[in-house]
Amino acid sequence: MSIIFGLCAALGWGTGDFTGGIASRKTGAYRAVFYSEVAGVFFLLIVLGVFGETLPSLEVWLPAAIAGIIGTFGLMLLYHSMTQGLMSISAPVSSLLAAMLPVVVGMFREGLPKGLTMLGFVFALAAVWLVSQSEGGMKDILSHLSDLKLPMLAGICFGLYFILMHESTDTGARIWPMIASRLGGSVMITGYVLISRIPLKVEDTSAWPFLILNGLFDVAGNVFFILSGQAGRLDVASVLSSLFSGVTVMLAWIFLRERLTRGQWIGVASALVAIILMTL
């Protein structure tokens, strides 16, 4: 079940990034992040009203809120690095670090997983790297080594988000930690918008469906990541969830007719091998 939930998290986050990317093109990256956070809180309150959940202690709220702040900060760093023309560098570097950090922490806390799972990690991390790269591939990475600071910081933020959310949901809570995380992220992005004086008005009304879908699928990704971590190991949940970049790439290929490079196809195949190895 941990593997199934982890793959569902990748599907949710990958679809969220796809719709968020379209929304960003229509209304700007920071507005997309802001309204995604707001929509996410709205959806979570509906879920809470339907299913209910006991209000958790401060020990659950605090790490979740910090996770939301750190995760949103990482997203802002990632978008900023992409505005500098470093998309082919930012995506693979940040995704790889986001997956590797929880793996290291998970191994220290829960011990080494079985051999086939370890081999699956290798294929999954390779898949995260390959599917996120553009045609320039390693040539772009090597020619911009000095520009890796922001993508690396973004990846560390995402990795810390995985770890802190796993910590806050370890007691069994699910909905309230996500609400705390969203509120923390909303405070972060709202503060940035106010300081930067970015207008929040969405001029292109066609962006609204994508903004709402972005918030919905991002919440779904978080739900399944939490379920994956509660059903199994942190490292397995994080590595499988980090395959979301492959989902985004495949959706762009299907709906936007964006061409996949040979390396990206190899990455997709590597992801399938990783999934098979982890289920054996």
Q: For residues 218 and 16, what is the distance between their CA atoms, to the nearest angstrom?
A: 5
- Direct distance between the N- and C-terminal alpha carbons of the chain, in angstroms, rounded to an integer: 13
* pLDDT band for position 210 (cuts 50, 70, 90): very high
What is the residue extent of each domain of the chain? 2-279
Model confidence pLDDT, tens digit, residues 40-73: 888 999 888 888 888 888 888 899 999 999 998 8
Helix axes 87-110, 234-241, angle to 10 degrees: 170
For the chain, the residue count is 280
Q: What pLDDT is stored for residue 83 in this prediction? A: 59
Residues 6+ apart with CB under 8 A from 253: 259, 260
Model confidence pLDDT, tens digit, residues 218-247: 899 999 999 999 998 888 888 888 888 788
pTM above 0.75, yes or no: yes
Q: What pLDDT is stored for residue 136 in this prediction? A: 55
Query: Residue 206: pLDDT above 80?
Result: yes
Task: Tell me the DSSP string of 230-279.
Answer: HHS-HHHHHHHHTTHHHHHHHHHHHHS-PPPPHHHHHHHHHHHHHHHHHH
Query: Residue 141: pLDDT above 80?
Result: no
Q: For residues 101 and 115, what is the distance between their CA atoms, to the nearest angstrom?
A: 19
Q: What pLDDT is stored for residue 271 in this prediction? A: 83
Query: Residue 140: pLDDT above 60?
Result: no
Model confidence pLDDT, tens digit, residues 95-112: 778 888 888 888 888 888
pLDDT > 70: percent of the chain = 89
Give CA torsion, residues 101, 106, 112, 118, to 10 deg. -50
Q: How far is CA 17 from CA 149, 162, 227, in A?
A: 22, 17, 20
Give CA torsion, residues 192, 154, 103, 99, to 10 deg. 110
Model confidence pLDDT, tens digit, residues 155-169: 899 899 999 998 888
Q: For residues 100 and 108, what is the distance between their CA atoms, to the nearest angstrom?
A: 13
